[in-house]
Structure 1
């Protein structure tokens, strides 16, 4: 039997969840997860490569395409070529399908999760692009559907419930209210999903980097911030700040190495300091959740539970603030950034 494969293409990572034995998958524990950076390396005479690492130094690198599906303005690359967002997303899906299928007989049965806020037109545009990219039999489902499938398979029958899906990714926050009932007759998204680009992991990375640089500001001297060496060093530093932020989801402290022209030192960052940097932003996101509930004609007391998804939702302070505000259980996978892909596979 062909493997079942669930895929989510995010602004930072493309995630695929595939069953390990090719049998009908019924439990999230049966899934193997692949995660690749949402970065494509394109060459005119070679197959595209998805991820950070590439052995094709002459390839054109393109990123930031996940949120450009249906955008009439193409994405311009360094070699002067222009690609549509949907074609790049479809290419990323094709790449990870073939990676997941490596060593198996036949291509997997593929389900692709898309943002719940997408209108039918955008979903149709991606469906057409997937067919052109050779992923013709893929089924498209909303991330809300995928997440709720994961929730039911891991937590049991939901019954009568109102679930808030809090999806905090790399560049945005999506809030969806999902109504379920014991009979399954009135199950689905309630009201209008909300997307805000005022919140996301990139904002937290920027705040972390500002904090780190502030610790060595007196050592800057005459550094030229626009010099190529400085720009490259700052890019590496931002990557380290991102890694430290992610590490602090499970660790209590992290060390960030700074290598700038004339500066070589380490800055220690503890979880409480990171929380101080992002607390105000996260509190504003909780306010947006409350406003979304009220906009649907409901009260916070109507909410049964919150499900956290998206890579940045792994930050412990997220669950703490939402739990304190809504006073309901807050549920999350061990890796919230994998939830939609796992639900798609299930």
Structure 2
């Protein structure tokens, strides 16, 4: 059975998701909630690293004593950062590779994940330097088989699986995470190119979970302590925060020379997008259908798992095709052998020997006598 493992390593949290063939064959509906679909398990960990005295790494721990390494996942933001572990100096890409290795090892403890194809997502704004650095770090720890996928491309794969088949068009991926907002236009549906990203992906640390927390702390300092009032203020500020983020959306559209009228849907992802005020503001202000998963923090990892599963399924189909061709060749050889035996009997004691090369074609013909 084809199995895919998807990894999304964010600045705040890292998500691991698993997809198998049953998920792909389910009827239309929400991923993980389809009538015949198996649930796709996921695990969320804090994006932190700790190392013990032997140099072994653990992901997701915040130790009471000692130091956890954090804030390394975005290679574009922490240029020049290094961490000293024993006699090793690890760059951000090396730390991401260590997290990837730990998450894969953890996932492989589940029997269903053994032998899975693996896809690791990255921000769409990474250039050739960041991608080369990340690829080199993965290869250095033996993760040559891990495929790299842009985050909005993985999100679009989830959209296709959960709500497809889609008509050819454009989806606006609005990924609101803990540390930033990423906005990207992606082509979806039949005929989409190998690189479906349109225009320039944009990222801003001015929006997201941390930015909203700072806004709430600044604006809510004089608010009443009554719980209802505090909750109302949080909802109002969250909607205001979402409306302010539309400037980044319109800038993204401008880079592709399109308008919202050209966009078929808005796909909302990221853990900070859970509150309904986010999707409500986007639907009202952008006047386009808004799609959001039951747990939007999982969307990108789920999409990466589905893409990895497709790779695994293609490999299985290729192997099955080679097996069928091999069986066909064997049948052809046996048939030619029977023909040769029949010819020997009809030749009155003279056997016609056929030389059969590996491809099963008749290479030559030579008679020889029987004693």
For the superposition of Structure 1 and Structure 2, which TM-score range results when normalised by the shorter chain?
A: 0.7 to 0.9
- The structure that is strand-richer by fraction is 1
Correspondence 1:314 to 2:240:
no
**Residues 7-156 of structure 1 correspond to what in structure 2 (within 5 A)?**
7-19=7-19, 25-26=23-24, 28-29=31-32, 30-52=39-61, 60-68=67-75, 72-76=79-83, 82-104=89-111, 106-156=114-164
For the residue of structure 1 that corresponds to 2:280, the secondary structure is helix
For the residue of structure 2 that corresponds to 1:190, the secondary structure is strand
Q: Distance in 1 between matches of 2:50 and 2:194?
A: 44
Extract structure 1 runs of 4+ deviating beyond 4 A. Answer: 22-25, 69-72, 76-82, 210-216, 265-270
Question: 1:170 Cα deviation (Å)?
Answer: 1.1
Q: Distance in 1 between matches of 2:300 and 2:187?
A: 18
Choose which of 173, 197, 201 in structure 2 pairs with 1:165: 173
Larger radius of gyration: 2
Partner of 1:190: 198
Question: 1:136 Cα deviation (Å)?
Answer: 2.1
The size of the alignment, in residue pairs, is 294
Question: 1:72 Cα deviation (Å)?
Answer: 4.7
Q: 1:100 to 1:2 in 2, by over 3 A?
A: farther
Most deviating of 27-36 and 135-144: 27-36
Choose which of 282, 287, 291 in structure 2 pairs with 1:327: 287
Most deviating of 117-126 and 142-151: 117-126
Alpha-carbon RMSD? 2.9
Question: 1:184 Cα deviation (Å)?
Answer: 3.4
Choose which of 155, 160, 185 in structure 2 pairs with 1:177: 185
Q: 1:287 to 1:341 in 2, by over 3 A?
A: same
**Structure 2, unpaired ranges of 5+:** 33-38, 307-371
Q: 1:298 to 1:89 in 2, by over 3 A?
A: same
For the residue of structure 2 that corresponds to 1:31, the secondary structure is coil
Question: 1:215 Cα deviation (Å)?
Answer: 5.7
Most deviating of 149-158 and 82-91: 82-91
**Paired residues of 2:61 and 2:68 also in contact (CA < 8 A):** no
Q: Distance in 2 between matches of 1:8 and 1:185?
A: 23
Q: Distance in 2 between matches of 1:187 and 1:91?
A: 28
Most deviating of 138-147 and 22-31: 22-31
Question: 1:196 Cα deviation (Å)?
Answer: 1.1
Q: Distance in 1 between matches of 2:260 and 2:110?
A: 49
Which string of whole-angstrom CA distances, capped at 9 and with x for unpartnered residues, describes residues 33-56 of structure 1?
A: 0100001111240521101356xx
Question: 1:326 Cα deviation (Å)?
Answer: 1.5
**Paired residues of 1:304 and 1:329 also in contact (CA < 8 A):** yes
Q: Using structure 1 for the length normalisation, give the TM-score.
A: 0.76
**Paired residues of 2:51 and 2:85 also in contact (CA < 8 A):** no
Most deviating of 265-274 and 277-286: 265-274
Partner of 1:302: 262
Q: 1:124 to 1:314 in 2, by over 3 A?
A: same
**Paired residues of 2:11 and 2:178 also in contact (CA < 8 A):** yes
